[in-house]
């Protein structure tokens, strides 16, 4: 299975899929970005920024470069926002009793984000300092989202925003711990890119 995912052509295809997904993600956020103060613009589109980090990681890896801080940001944010979007859409389904096709598409695509973060974790060179910086950025984003009200809009869940903020904080902590054990404390492994 490793040979499949670490194949050059597969990684190029995955890079293209992530770039397209990133562009679509930013497009999806346009209505919210129009209402966002300029100084918060960088902090609003969470998931597309996560896939942007992963796209940068893939491009760097395919061209023989490594950027461990980008790897830490990619792994941490893909995992966190991948799981978060699934939780939000399941909550929407529970509250509304139904979920439209976009909700199911978001669950699938965000689940894939989290899965790819794990699949390529053996290629990351994340040190504790990289994880620390990525964690500060992630938790800072939580403050922007839930203190200043810049979180993604799920209208039917708006009355639960305080609870969602609390849940999101602990999800972030769990993701930080996961990335620490999967990538920082991992045994050194060597993977060759299959051409």
**pLDDT tens, residue order, the chain (195 aa):** 568 899 999 999 999 999 999 999 999 999 999 999 999 999 999 999 999 999 999 999 999 999 999 999 999 999 999 999 999 999 999 999 999 999 999 999 999 999 999 999 999 999 999 999 999 999 999 999 999 989 887 788 989 999 999 999 999 999 999 999 999 987 655 566 666
Rounded to an integer, what distance in angstroms lies between the CA atom of residue 49 and that of residue 145?
Answer: 14
* Cα 188 to Cα 82, 110, 141, 191, distances in angstroms: 26, 28, 31, 10
Is residue 194 one of the residues assigned to a domain? no
Cβ neighbours of 181 (radius 10 Å): 9
Joined tokens for residue 54 = 């992963």
Q: Is the CA virtual torsion 10, 14, 20, 23 positive or negative?
A: negative
8 A C-beta contact, residue 51 and residue 18? yes
Which pLDDT value is given to residue 195?
A: 66
The domain total for the chain is 1
Joined tokens for residue 29 = 């956020």
Is the pTM of the predicted complex or chain greater than 0.85?
A: yes
CA nearest 80: which of 128, 131, 123? Answer: 131
Which pLDDT value is given to residue 189?
A: 55
Which pLDDT value is given to residue 84?
A: 97
Which pLDDT value is given to residue 1?
A: 59
Which pLDDT value is given to residue 70?
A: 98
Which pLDDT value is given to residue 173?
A: 98
CA nearest 183: which of 172, 193, 175? Answer: 175
Joined tokens for residue 41 = 């613009």
Residue 119 structural domain: 2-184
Is residue 22 one of the residues assigned to a domain? yes
**Backbone φ, ψ for residue 194 (5° rounding):** -85, 120
Is residue 192 one of the residues assigned to a domain? no
Which pLDDT value is given to residue 190?
A: 54
Is residue 159 one of the residues assigned to a domain? yes
Is residue 165 one of the residues assigned to a domain? yes
Is residue 59 one of the residues assigned to a domain? yes
Who contacts 67 (Cβ-Cβ below 8 Å, separation ≥6)?
56, 57, 60
């Amino acid at each position: 299975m490793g040979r499949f995912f670490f194949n050059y052509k597969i990684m190029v295809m995955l890079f293209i899929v992530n770039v397209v997904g990133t562009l679509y993600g930013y497009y999806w956020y346009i209505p919210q970005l129009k209402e966002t103060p300029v100084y918060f613009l960088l902090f609003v589109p969470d998931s597309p920024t996560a896939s942007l980090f992963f796209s940068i990681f893939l491009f760097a890896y395919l061209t023989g470069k490594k950027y461990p801080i980008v790897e830490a940001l990619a792994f941490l944010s893909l995992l966190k926002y991948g799981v978060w979007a699934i939780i939000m859409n399941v909550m929407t389904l529970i509250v509304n009793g139904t979920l439209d096709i976009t909700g199911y598409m978001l669950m699938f695509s965000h689940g894939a984000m989290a899965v790819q973060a794990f699949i390529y974790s053996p290629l990351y060179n994340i040190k504790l300092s990289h994880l620390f910086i990525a964690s500060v950025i992630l938790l800072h984003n939580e403050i922007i989202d839930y203190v200043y009200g810049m979180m993604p809009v799920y209208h039917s869940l708006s009355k639960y925003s305080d609870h969602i903020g609390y849940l999101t904080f602990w999800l972030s902590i769990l993701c930080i711990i996961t990335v620490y054990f999967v990538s920082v404390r991992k045994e050194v492994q060597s993977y060759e890119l299959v051409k």
